[in-house]
Amino acid sequence: MSNFTTATEFLLMGFSDVRELQILYSFLLFLIYSAGLMGNLLIVIITTFDRRLHTPMYFFLRNLAMVDACYISITVPQASVNSLVNNRIISFTGCAAQVFFVVFLACVELTLLTAMARDRYVAICHPLHYPVIMSPRVCLQMTLTCLITGLVYSAFHTGYTFRLSFCHSNVVHQFFCDIPSLLRISCSDTFSNNLSLIVSDVVVGAGCYAFIIASYVRIFSTVLKFPFPVKEDQKKAFSTCIPHISVVSLFLISGAYIYFQPPSDSESLKDIILSVFYTVIPPFMNPIIYSLWNKQIKDAMGIVMKSTILIKKKIKGCMDMVKFSSQNI
């Protein structure tokens, strides 16, 4: 497979060559995917139907959960199936589509996290102007900006990557198609690709990160100035900021591991594990982080659980009545 003139398909790496371990990894990936998907969908449902959560903060959280649900669905299900059936082949078109959606959703997630930092800054540092500055129209415009930025960013890098020729090898040293792994197996000159990738990552990533850090420096300086009688407000402010800081740190640190690690042409399990922390752990952990730290989310989840139990009891009661009536007849 190393002498193709032009690759028409790619061979992804697996987590193991041992059959028993392949089945185990497939099962673990399925569990992680199911938990992450259900957690994010639960946040979407709660923030949609609970009117108390119809605020800009939860509007962005709902959008983040939808992005995470899609993000984890791009790579994990296919990796789970591939490991189960021991088939690691992906078509050229499928690889391009996977690269596009992974980059698009990662960029949208980062810009959404930046918009959430802006929302928290305005809410805490300028509370009197908050309804005007973060109006529904402004929130919608910010979300559309995130989507358009991700679309342009992803379209450029996907197109710029797949204009290359892949004739050295068709073995991608990852469990999914990503740009750094594809650049390593290209037989074309990839200097401009690497340069554009580094520059754009630094501009977008560092720009968003700097904005988030600046926002939280202002937030914490404001919160720490709260007088003693409003310590409860101080606690509430920290409870809404700490989950966001945790999510941002998890996403950026895991992403930095992938895009700024020294290049390697050899197959490495370490690269695959680091990619899991970049593509799987953030969307899996986001619902857990927000549900653990945010009291309103926990209260809303409690209401949903109680409502679910009540509905089940009513359904069971109706079924018992129908069964009793049929027996009497």
At 11, give phi and psi (nearest 5°). Answer: -115, 115
pLDDT in tens, 57-87: 899 999 999 999 999 999 999 999 988 888 8
| Minimum mean pLDDT range among 53-62, 67-76, 95-104, 280-289 | 280-289
pLDDT in tens, 8-29: 889 898 777 888 888 898 999 9
Relative orientation angle of helices 19-49 and 56-85, to the nearest 10 degrees? 160
The letter for the amino acid at 290 is Y
Q: What is the pLDDT of residue 2?
A: 44
Position with higher pLDDT, 263 vs 120: 120
**Domains of the chain by residue range:** 9-293, 298-328
Question: CB–CB of 61/116 below 8 Å?
Answer: yes
CATH 3.90.480.10 fits 9-293, yes or no: no
